[in-house]
Structure 1
């Protein structure tokens, strides 16, 4: 076993752009977390779930950003995506806490980002002629 590792330098996010999100397990996690009534988990468990959701939220936000950047400047969908991305950045900048509320807030964020991504991906892009 080697003690060395390779650090990937990808300042333009090209690697992420080429990899599709593994959506199904995260949607299942979001559904489960949002269904909690009175979970009896340890703070560390809540933190781990929130960390998973945070990482995935960042990946979905990057996809939303890529889709929004491909829109014409006067397209309102891009402006709405920018608002949602700013809100997401603010929410993701909050420290993770070992609570059900924190994990559920991250789950709501992932759900909102996927809703925006789906709207951006489903709508045709209208180019100026």
Structure 2
């Protein structure tokens, strides 16, 4: 096994735009990670889980960004999405660690992004 890696530079998020993330396995991973009480994994295992969740969080954030951009300026859901996206950008800029806490923080981020995505994609109630 090699200790080298490749850094991917994709400032426009084009790769993420082409991803079709399967939500169910990632939600199951989030649920499992958040249920940890006193896990006893190797640091590299925590790092791998956090990396998986980070990639998925970036893909969901790209979806949230696209949906928010398509909303009219008068729709408050877009402003809320921007707040969540700023928070996500800040949290994703923190380097990964091989700890349970890091993996759980990434799991919380994925959950928050899915919540925002769901709110952006649900139809607004009809007004009278």
TM-score range, shorter chain: 0.7 to 0.9
C-alpha displacement at 1:21, in angstroms? Answer: 2.0
**TM value normalised by structure 2:** 0.84
Shift of 1:10: 9.0
| Divergent runs of 4+, >6 A | none
| TM-score normalized by the length of structure 1 | 0.83
Q: Give how far 1:17 is off.
A: 3.6
- The answer as to whether partners of 2:16 and 2:58 remain within 8 angstroms in 1 is no
* 8 A Cα contact 2:19 2:59, kept in partner: no
Instruction: Show the counterpart of 1:79.
Output: 79
Change (3 A) 1:71 1:49: same
Displacement of 1:18 in angstroms is 5.0
Corresponding residue for residue 46 of structure 1: 46
Aligned-pair CA distance for 1:16? 4.1
- Distance in 2 between the 1:95 and 1:25 partners? 24
Choose 1 or 2 for highest CA Rg: 1
* Matches for 1:3-14 after TM superposition, within 5 Å: 11=12, 13=14
Q: Secondary structure at the match of 1:59?
A: helix
Q: Which residue of 1 aligns with 2:97?
A: 97
SS in 1 for 2:98: coil
Matches within 5 A, 1:1-129: 11=12, 13=14, 16-124=16-124
- Rate the CA distance shift 1:67–1:45 in 2: closer, same or farther, 3 A: same
